[in-house]
Structure 1
């Protein structure tokens, strides 16, 4: 049943993100279903100026720059019952006290999955055309490539190995369907029937690495995946293969990958690294077979409004007495980002 009174909500994030997350049409939607001071954005839960609003808040709308929500959050906001996160992972945001207290949590991670999947698809298509090598060759020769130089180029039948059927991984598999790729998937939580429904051939990790022309990482950053692509596994990728990482840098042994890339045996598209950013002297900044970007695959600029829209929809569901569509369960954090 709809609540008799609109839920009382407070923004908690770095205020610099607010206008892009919630442009005027979305801010109007929030005001229509919730009691919220759109001029108040909390960064410090102990701020006396925010105390009256927090004391009444039933909902925190959080984002990048929000302080960690632990037991002190329940002291500042004793009426709190829901956190709507206008970003991706809540792993480092929500403390045990909130989970233990039965606070419901929702994340806009599904909204952030699309631009990451789009970026990855673009890089897969460019990698299949061997765009990095052709660009470098064109800079020096100023001539179109010869048939011999393009003999191994093309996306027809190229095998793409996707590691992780995360939200991003699933969106990528969806985007890959119209293309003439052979797609493989490694995910220990996905059986053969589900992989087939996703449009992929399930393979063990080592076999996927051996057989793929392009390997794309979409696993969560959890202890079990730390440096899952170590020196031994990187060596399994076939000569001329391409590694794409838009997940987290910690999934790859950076030193081992650098050694492979310096030899020219592999190429890489890296939107994330470990550490991030890399030291100034890293060869990954200048290697011709490396396309390195500063963590831009996720939502940026006008894409942030998609995250705000997810939150607005969740708040509307709350006001209507409906369950959250994107609830994060504490038990799931052991295997998701």
Structure 2
């Protein structure tokens, strides 16, 4: 029997049983030798020194240490980093690429619940559900919204998707069964890409002017900081909804607060800048702002999907096959 490659968990210990519940851990152990009780949260910890010296694979995730030159020196046999989460930007340094270490990410799996959250918010906001809930709660004795309400609904509603990322593309796919009209803007997408997704490719300003819902799925880069500011918000039509599940830095929050105070727009924010918001932020109290605490990504039983991606990637490594979710360092700068 071929000897299984030795692997070490390098993430927050509390997350190991969540991302690798027993069936997923068993799947991982079919192809690698790994101990769930041995977790390298700190590479300078003497208790993990020998394990790291033997490791060919690191299974990383939320709370994992930065893989800088000093950390990598502790793992001299390392040939692959399998990341059981989305972006690897928080752990991977240029030294990883310089040493020829392969990197894989479960970002595609983490995109699924974010896209599902976005779809739910698009549909619920189309029914004005959040405002109706608040009015019903406040005026339960006098609420007169039980009949037909004009001006709401999801028939022909225009949805502008900013960013043809994994999540942005998945959102477009999920919108197809509904009577909604999506459009895309992305400086890196071309007409062929948009056509394959079945949507028109628009300049940002045109998308903002013509969308009833705008949903952000672009990466956080110096170029996208405050991509949506006062000028862009002013382009959005009255009654439009802005959804952000990407990164808080894409949105100028001061400009958003000013626009929301007019009552002209609504916003649904799963990410903010800073995160969390300070307790005194007006966004907590504005009736047309819906805040959720970074819940769009994998939560609860969804995290096992991330571990399963890693188990499948480990099997490919052991078989000498290419990784299915390899991270391209050249493209990393424009990814989330």
- Band the TM-score falls in, shorter-chain normalisation: over 0.9
Q: CA RMSD in A?
A: 1.3
User: 1:246 Cα deviation (Å)?
Assistant: 0.4
**Consecutive aligned runs of 4 or more in structure 1 exceeding 6 Å deviation:** none
TM-score, with length taken from structure 1: 0.96
Contact 2:162 2:216 in 1 (8 A): yes
Name the structure 1 match of 2:254.
255
Structure 1, unaligned runs of 5 or more: none
Structure 1 CA distance for aligned equivalents of residues 310 and 97 of structure 2: 20
Name the structure 2 match of 1:286.
285
Residue 150 of structure 1 aligns to a residue whose secondary structure is coil
Name the structure 2 match of 1:159.
158
Residue 40 of structure 1 aligns to a residue whose secondary structure is coil
Q: Please, which of 57, 79, 100 is the counterpart of residue 77 of structure 2?
A: 79
Residue 290 of structure 2 aligns to a residue whose secondary structure is strand
Residue 38 of structure 1 aligns to a residue whose secondary structure is coil
Residue 39 of structure 2 aligns to a residue whose secondary structure is strand
Higher mean C-alpha displacement, 125-134 vs 137-146: 137-146
User: 1:285 Cα deviation (Å)?
Assistant: 0.6
Pick closer, same or farther for the CA change 1:140–1:311 going to 2, 3 Å.
same
Structure 2, unaligned runs of 5 or more: none
Structure 2 CA distance for aligned equivalents of residues 32 and 4 of structure 1: 12
Structure 2 CA distance for aligned equivalents of residues 217 and 294 of structure 1: 16
Deviation per residue, 1:184-223 (Å, 9 max, x gap): 1001111112212212111000000000000000000111
Q: Equivalences for 1:187-202 in 2 at 5 Å?
A: 187-202=186-201
User: 1:250 Cα deviation (Å)?
Assistant: 0.2
TM-score, with length taken from structure 2: 0.97
Residue 50 of structure 1 aligns to a residue whose secondary structure is helix
Q: Equivalences for 1:1-337 in 2 at 5 Å?
A: 4-142=2-140, 143-145=143-145, 150-337=149-336
User: 1:144 Cα deviation (Å)?
Assistant: 3.9
Residue 99 of structure 1 aligns to a residue whose secondary structure is helix
Structure 2 CA distance for aligned equivalents of residues 309 and 78 of structure 1: 26
